[in-house]
């Protein structure tokens, strides 16, 4: 189905959106209408979400791991008691396109799910003019030590690398899945190869999730749904290994919450938003684990960015089963 996903980045510089973008849909878990508007932002601004429906005043929610408040079936950010869920697909789109700075206004508690992948966000951004380079140098987090996180039978390992690599694997007792692996290498693997991979779940889990108030907006138009022996979606899968590609896409979005471009090799097995969040916390826990490279942005231990002038070492220690995987 895939569109041409063209990523044009000026080497070493920060980027923002070339023009505002608006998308509308429903929230996957809430089932409520959702609208998001993306705006260009100045160099050094970072990615900021804004809940514009909050009364009496909008609430800004920085897109950093320190603002993750829930990882149950989606990544939820929060600030001052106001939350925003299912941010990972948009964040993956921004990561894949190389966007460092953006203001994202949302008029409800959840991002629109659209087709369950990052593709609609990318298409809308490209149709509006793509991305624009800025005057400040891009700031990169380079891993310097091996970091590991394990939660039950789910685990993640991050190691030093000269580029961003995400090697994801899943194991599921299903005739169409079994064990799958996918290795994404930034700058080598076309981002389009993972961008259209959709969120997924098993049919037997849908009713249970809906009883918990989740997946209320889920349909065959925005998720891959697996029966005991097949795929319910009329068009089938977009890739034979679409499910593991989506897990890699989710990870790319979650790692955007570091607040930086990343140089590191991530190996993920049965991982989900909980593991990704714990891994970022572990990475920032010890300054010896990473180095911040760049001259335009300072850093704090929470992964937030602010305009500054010096680069250098700023600041992971160490800390299972694929369920319904929305």
List active site positions.
273
Nearest-CA neighbor of 244 among 206, 270, 209, 265? Answer: 270
The phi-psi region of residue 301 (left if phi > 0; otherwise alpha if psi is between -120 and 50; otherwise beta) is alpha
In angstroms, rounded to a whole number, what is the distance separating the alpha carbons of residues 198 and 114? Answer: 10
Would you state the structure tokens that stand for residue 126, as one six-digit string?
């490209």
Q: In what order do the strands lie in the sheet with 33-40?
A: 21-26, 33-40, 102-106, 47-51, 59-62
Query: CB of 277 within 8 A of CB of 300?
Result: no
Asked if 293 and 123 count as a contact pair (C-beta separation under 8 A), the reply is: no
Give the position of tokens 């697909």: 89
- Asked if the peptide bond before residue 56 counts as cis, ω within 30 degrees of 0, the response is yes
61: left (phi over 0), alpha (psi -120 to 50) or beta: beta
**Tell me, what DSSP letter sits at residue 197?**
P
Report the DSSP pairing between strands 290-293 and 140-143.
antiparallel
Alpha carbon distance 177, 64 (integer Å) = 32
């Amino acid at each position: 189905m895939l569109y041409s996903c063209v990523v044009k980045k000026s080497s070493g510089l920060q980027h923002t959106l070339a023009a505002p973008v608006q998308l509308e849909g429903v929230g996957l878990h809430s089932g409520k209408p959702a609208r998001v508007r993306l705006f260009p932002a100045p160099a050094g601004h970072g990615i900021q979400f804004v809940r514009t429906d909050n009364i009496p005043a909008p609430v800004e929610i920085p897109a950093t791991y320190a603002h993750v408040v829930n990882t149950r079936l989606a990544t939820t950010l929060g600030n001052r008691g106001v939350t925003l869920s299912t941010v990972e697909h948009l964040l993956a789109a921004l990561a894949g396109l190389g966007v460092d700075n953006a203001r994202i206004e949302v008029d409800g508690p959840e991002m629109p799910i659209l087709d369950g992948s990052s593709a609609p966000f990318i298409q809308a951004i490209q149709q509006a003019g793509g991305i624009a380079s800025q005057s400040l140098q891009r700031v990169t987090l380079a891993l310097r030590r091996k970091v590991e996180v394990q939660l039950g039978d789910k685990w993640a390992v991050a190691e030093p690398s000269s580029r961003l690599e995400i090697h994801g694997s899943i194991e599921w007792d299903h005739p169409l899945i079994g064990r799958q692996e996918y290795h994404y290498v930034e700058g080598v693997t076309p981002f389009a190869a993972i961008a259209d991979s959709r969120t997924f779940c098993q049919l037997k889990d849908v009713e249970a999730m809906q009883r918990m108030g989740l997946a209320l907006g889920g349909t065959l138009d925005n998720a891959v749904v697996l029966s005991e022996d097949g795929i319910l979606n009329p068009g089938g899968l977009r890739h034979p290994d679409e499910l593991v590609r989506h897990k890699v896409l989710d990870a790319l979005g979650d790692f955007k919450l570091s607040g930086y471009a990343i140089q590191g090799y991530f190996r993920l097995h049965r991982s989900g938003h909980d593991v990704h969040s714990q891994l970022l916390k572990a990475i920032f826990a010890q300054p010896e684990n990473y180095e911040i490279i760049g001259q335009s942005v300072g850093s704090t231990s929470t992964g937030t960015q602010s305009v500054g002038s010096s680069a250098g070492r700023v600041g992971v220690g160490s800390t299972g089963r694929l369920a319904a995987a929305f």
